[in-house]
């Protein structure tokens, strides 16, 4: 019932910015918590940020807090990840994820029901 499609990845230099988008086909987009995860080659998939559907409360991994901003536009069924001050360690495939529920944020991959195909972000020195 839900399909997620990420876009906006690319190759940038240290200090640059990118904005990722995640289009959600779900009919009731506002009832889903949306999140971003990332995975570097040979590494486990890691939590980046999440936003609840009801209140729009946000939560960030320590590594990106202050640099990244997650947001959503329920009218467009789209979630975003604004990434500023990018560092080489931000290089990874970024995945959009969704889970049912709007009251609490989770940070583990197993709690999310739907996943996008991923979009590559490469940050060069």
Q: Per residue in 40-99, pLDDT tens? A: 999 999 999 999 987 899 999 999 999 999 999 988 999 999 999 999 999 999 999 999
User: Region 20-31: what's the mean pLDDT?
Assistant: 87
- Residue 44 to residue 33: CA distance in whole angstroms: 22
Q: Are 26 and 77 in contact (CB under 8 A)?
A: yes
| pLDDT at residue 123, rounded to an integer | 98
Q: How many other C-beta atoms lie within 10 A of the C-beta of residue 117?
A: 11
Look at residues 8, 48, 49, 6 and name the one whose alpha carbon lies nearest to residue 24: 6
Contacts of 32 (CB under 8 A, 6+ apart): 2, 24, 26, 53, 98, 99, 100, 101, 102
Q: Which two tokens stand for residue 65?
A: 């807090």
Between the CA atoms of 16, 57, 32 and 49, what dihedral angle is there, to the nearest 10 degrees? 30
Say yes or no to pLDDT of 1 above 90.
no
Look at residues 91, 86, 92 and name the one whose alpha carbon lies nearest to residue 15: 86
Look at residues 18, 17, 22, 35 and name the one whose alpha carbon lies nearest to residue 9: 18
Arithmetic mean of pLDDT over the chain: 94
């Amino acid at each position: 019932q839900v399909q997620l499609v990420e876009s906006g990845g690319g190759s940038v230099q240290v200090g640059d910015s990118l904005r990722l988008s995640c289009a959600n086909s779900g009919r009731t987009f506002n009832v889903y918590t949306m999140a971003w995860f990332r995975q570097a080659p040979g590494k486990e998939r890691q939590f980046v940020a999440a936003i609840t559907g009801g209140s729009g409360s946000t939560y960030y991994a320590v590594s990106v807090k202050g640099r990244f901003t997650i947001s959503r536009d329920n009218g467009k069924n789209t979630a975003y990840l604004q990434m500023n001050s990018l560092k080489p360690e931000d290089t990874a495939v970024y995945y959009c994820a969704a889970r049912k529920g709007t009251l609490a944020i989770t940070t583990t991959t197993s709690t999310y029901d739907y996943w996008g195909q991923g979009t590559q972000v490469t940050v060069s020195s």
